[in-house]
Amino acid sequence: MSRAKTPDIGLVPTALPDHLALFAHADAELLALARAWLAHLAGERRIADLTLEAYTRDLRQFLAFAAIHFGAVPSLTMIRDLAPGDLRAFMASRREAGVGSRSLLRQLAGLRNFTRYLERNGHGQSAAFTAVRAPKTSRRLPKPLTASAARALTGVDARAGENRPAWILARDAAVLGLLYGAGLRISEALSIKRSDAPVGALDVLRVVGKGKKTRDTPIIAPVRRGIETYLDLCPYNLPPDRHLFVGAKGGPLSPRIIQLAVERLRGALGLPDTATPHALRHSFATHLLGRGGDLRAIQGIARPRLALHDADLHGGRQRPARRGLSLGASARRLNGAAAAKPMCPFRFHGMTRSARRRAKRSKKESSVAW
């Protein structure tokens, strides 16, 4: 039997905030392993902060359930001996609490990641997490906004009737302008520091995205003007190391504030529920493609995991989505290449069953040797 690795508990507090590493329902050994796992995710894996918080919350909820379900403090032995029925009981309890399929799928993925970490470090295997199937979720295609709706959401004129300070209205418009005008995620826009603000002659913004990866994004003049207007009206002194966008009391701005602002505008403008801050990011790619933009260039700017289907490829016109279409095939269609090159057989991951059959049939009929 391989000797279990002892987690370096002493290094954990420097890698994680304390509030992320504390679990009330766990013994000392399991607590140390949970903290070491979170430090591994934050340090070596470099996952997003919100994902780290979600995984921490998911594990805490599971351990709280296990303490009640088994009537004892959860331990490493309890995790190893977990039966599929116990895990299904936990999933059923989350369903009763109103948790949706997507959140439950993420929670199960986080717990599986934890048990795989235990296995890799010689702490045994928990077969229950491989025996239980993940809940099925429907694939929701992104619904980009029309150009007029996107402009209305990002403009200041639509907010004229709101009884809020002018600098807050300008702040919301500047944030949404970055989502639609530069393709930023809402977390990326709110993490910009004052020293990195794209104002004046600065027309490129270095963005730190998921996985702490950086990319340079061009900032067009209307977006820069929106940020400059916000800075002129903002009543707070913003030093270089402070966040560019602040809340009403001067603290960091929460994404929920921007979401609520969009909800208010949605009702005033008569827009559907699909008009969200994230929809502006999809609209950024869709409208650029509709105006003849290069797919690879757009992908490099926004680094989006966007589902670029026929509706996107034809400037937002509603057409039946063709699932299983790779980005390479999309780029060839945009560039006018009509060559019917079959898909490489090693690229089947993420395709539907019918798309795989079509690709295999095309490969068989073609004389191209892979």
> Which pLDDT score, from 0 to 100, does residue 259 have?
92
- CATH 1.10.443.10 maps onto the chain at 147-302
Single out the residue of 225, 209, 227 nearest to residue 217, CA to CA.
Answer: 209
> Which pLDDT score, from 0 to 100, does residue 226 have?
92
Give the helix/strand (H/E) hosting 215.
strand 214-218
Q: Which residues of the chain have pLDDT under 50?
A: 1-21, 304-349, 365-370
For residues 79-100, one letter each, b for 16 or more C-beta atoms within 10 angstroms of the residue's C-beta and e for the rest, the string is bbebeeebbeebbeebeeeebe
Which CATH class for the 147-302 domain? mainly alpha
pLDDT tens-place string over residues 79-90: 889 898 998 999
Q: CA 25, 28, 29, 34 torsion: positive or negative?
A: positive
> Which pLDDT score, from 0 to 100, does residue 2 have?
43
d(CA 39, CA 46): 9
Give the helix/strand (H/E) hosting 179.
helix 166-182
pTM of the model: 0.60
> Which pLDDT score, from 0 to 100, does residue 132 have?
83
Query: Phi, psi at residue 7, to the nearest 5°?
Result: -65, 145
Query: How many alpha carbons fall within 13 Å on the CB side of residue 285?
Result: 29
Pair 265, 217: CB distance under 8 Å: no
> Which pLDDT score, from 0 to 100, does residue 233 have?
94
pLDDT tens-place string over residues 264-315: 888 888 888 888 888 888 888 787 776 665 556 655 555 544 444 433 443 4
What are 116's two structure tokens? 């795989």
Pair 16, 42: CB distance under 8 Å: yes
> Which pLDDT score, from 0 to 100, does residue 14 have?
38
Which residues touch 329 (CB under 8 Å, ≥6 apart)? 343
Which residues touch 281 (CB under 8 Å, ≥6 apart)? 179, 180, 183, 184, 185, 302, 304, 306
> Which pLDDT score, from 0 to 100, does residue 270 have?
83
